[in-house]
Chains A and B, each alone.
Chain A
């Protein structure tokens, strides 16, 4: 990319109050010269820098963004910078998958004594950004939404294929309701839609077939369902992972839920082809038997790896085309078992954090927020993708964060009940290859 004539980049620096801000101050008092292209925003700590802020900076016209704080061990609040480092290890992966230009996103440690480093960093970033030219965010959608094939073959509906275990499931539900062990059985109906069975004579409504894609654990958080009394819930191995996370995050008291696990050979979803949790591991009872499928991480992340063969500009063009269709119906959020906030940040209006408008700006902001709030939490049930009426493949964003969590922390959400949650903790050994 050629240097644009006379282009003066805008660089927004989010810096911590205690180290980098004082480093910049020292550069000033020492009369160290550096380009005037940087706008400094002082925050208490890098740990307090919400990931929405750099996005907002880009939205409002920044050409590059810098986050800078105290060196490891120097944090005024002991560990804020360790948390920030860990968060950014994953956040960068999400931005990269979305096709952000990672050459414009910088992270440094600059102490109060490093006025000279500040001078150097700002000079370098300014030069680099000048070479890159002005940044146009969310560019590349050429409006050719109608580029797909012309003819559609209307597919004939095929009847559901019932699996072995349906009778055992119904018998089990009947037993639980008759014995008064539970008040409601949350299961799938004939067409896969959720059913809430409260009477033993209604258990014939429960089905176990290739339509049972829905992850029903999302209903455990709904107050109308909670009001029914102690539930039994039908889970597949993949669904159970959400239950494990909900339990880890104190959203579900495990002893107040009876879990009916279904050994599963696949329900025809994309994730089924690379499933390695076919048999629920923590259920109160498991119906059926299937051979466990060992799957390599390469296979699990194959769809992502294929997508990442695109260049960053192509990726952003792809997402701009996809998110163009997003109407902000929030089906992705509502269907997600792990989106349980009483009031979502997207619904906050005092002040508004994320534009409510279903524009590219508002849609990117929303999907970045949704995906990152599920970083190292998402269990890959793909319910968001299934629910999206616009057919947006949100799975790719979730996969990118899941792979980062696995690569960086050896963590897979909802697999090991005992594993420590990656966020809320940190390690001194966390890799900081992206930090200068």
Chain B
């Protein structure tokens, strides 16, 4: 037995959520060929098929690209500080991809490691994630290589699976998911079949060992020469979570804000002295791979990658995690034979 909802009922449900004052985000074609997660004005426009992956990720709904932490005002010789508004209402992400949802438990570790990030946690608690299992994939996808798949449920509160004919099976996974769909589904005996995922492209355990052994290896320069040093990969990545804190204001006061940052920028590690420990782009690319497949796993026993392939799709130079890891796979293979 399964729970079923029609596409039309789902769209009405989204309208209902919005009517209840919840913010609902989902994938929308903001331009032809440009699916993107945005906050929805209604339930009629979000995508339920015909796309592989939005260009951005759902991390921005729990970890916004720009977030004021506090406001400050100079009053004579005093500085008056006011907390940023702490009111975060409930929100629901609809039709998220499983590779996006899987990133949230990964981010939970980081934002609750040596200190609990109240900004992140607040949003996270207020967010319900309803995923839409993938029925298609493209050549950039590699979820199966990092232990996930087209219908991986990690991080989802509920999952929708396409039954065809505009109907969806609803798999409720958590309390939040149950609340979202309570009384909205009908019982059915149809069970959705899970679509095949992309073929496995590399062995994560092998990568983890390799990068540890080849920190100074020639592979980094060889495989990342094309990298131009922008942040398109990190900013579209569901798991990249670096941020910068800056004060923006004038003589009267301003705000302390948190903005996304990327390890691919020259300024990311630039010291005030002018020294830069990662002075060349290959070192910065190595950092990215290293963090995802070695540093984070060593610390939290998990990969910092969900195989969504956004880095590859969004790279103007045709790079991405997958290219580098495939090169590692080849390189390691050659070494083993030798």
* Chief secondary structure at chain A's binding surface: loop
Q: Is B102 an interface residue when CB atoms closer than 8 A count as contact?
A: no
Nearest Cβ in chain B — how far from A259, in angstroms? 19
Q: Size of chain B's interface in residues, with CB distance under 8 A?
A: 58
- A residues within 8 A CB of B32? 148-149
B262 to chain A, nearest CB (A): 7
> Interface code B41-60, partner A: CB below 8 Å = 1, 0 otherwise?
10011110111100110000
Instruction: Indicate whether A330 sits within 8 Å of B265 (C-beta atoms), given known contacts A152-B47, A387-B316, A389-B236.
Output: yes
- Residues of A in contact (CB 8 Å), total 53
Complex-state Cα separation, A193 to B312, whole angstroms: 11
A428 contacts the other chain (CB 8 A): no
A218 to B225, CA, bound (A): 12
Is B239's beta carbon under 8 Å from chain A? no
Q: Is A296 an interface residue (CB 8 A)?
A: no
Question: Does chain A have a CB within 8 A of B200?
Answer: no
User: What CA separation (Å) do A390 and B31 show in the bound complex?
Assistant: 10
Q: Of A124-132, A133-141, A153-161, which stretch is located at the interface?
A: A153-161
Which residue in chain A gives the minimum CB-CB distance to B246? A356
Cβ of B280 and Cβ of A223 under 8 Å apart?
A: yes
Q: How far is the CA of A331 from the CA of B319 in the complex (A)?
A: 13
A417 at the interface (CB under 8 A from B): no
The answer, among A151, A218, A355, A356, for a CB contact under 8 Å with B244, is A356
Question: Chain B residues with Cβ under 8 A from A196's Cβ?
Answer: 225-226
Q: Which residue of B lies closest to A331 (CB)?
A: B230
A155: which B residues are within 8 A, CB to CB?
33
Other-chain contact of B281, A152, A222, A387 (Cβ < 8 Å): A222
Which 10 residue pairs spanning A and B have beta carbons closest together?
A: A193-B318, A387-B316, A152-B50, A329-B231, A334-B230, A331-B230, A146-B28, A334-B228, A389-B314, A391-B34
For the residues of B in contact with A, the DSSP-based class is loop
Supposing A154-B50, A355-B248, A386-B316 touch, asked if A334 and B29 sit within 8 A by C-beta, the answer is no
A residues within 8 Å of B by Cβ? 60, 143-155, 157, 189, 191-196, 214, 218-219, 222-225, 325, 327-331, 333-335, 347, 349, 352, 355-359, 362, 383, 386-387, 389-391
Contact indicator B235/A356 (Cβ below 8 Å): no
CB distance from A345 to the nearest CB of B (A): 12
Asked whether B246 lies within 8 Å of A357 as measured between CB atoms, the reply is: yes
Q: B50 near A153 (CB under 8 angstroms)?
A: yes
Bound: A157/B139 CA distance, A: 9
B267 in the interface (beta carbon within 8 A):
yes
Q: Which residue of A lies closest to B36 (CB)?
A: A325
Q: In the complex, are the beta carbons of A148 and B31 less than 8 A apart?
A: yes
The answer for the CA separation of A357 and B245 in the assembled complex, in Å, is 10
Query: A357 to B259, Cβ gap below 8 A?
Result: yes
B266 x A214 contact (CB < 8 A)? no
A-B contact sample (7 more), CB < 8 A, given A219-B226, A335-B316, A390-B55? A193-B226, A194-B226, A325-B36, A329-B231, A329-B235, A331-B230, A356-B248
Choose from A149, A189, A223, A356 the contact partner of B29 (Cβ within 8 Å). A149
Q: How far is the CB of B103 from chain A (nearest CB, A)?
A: 16
Distance A197 CA – B152 CA, assembled complex (angstroms): 40
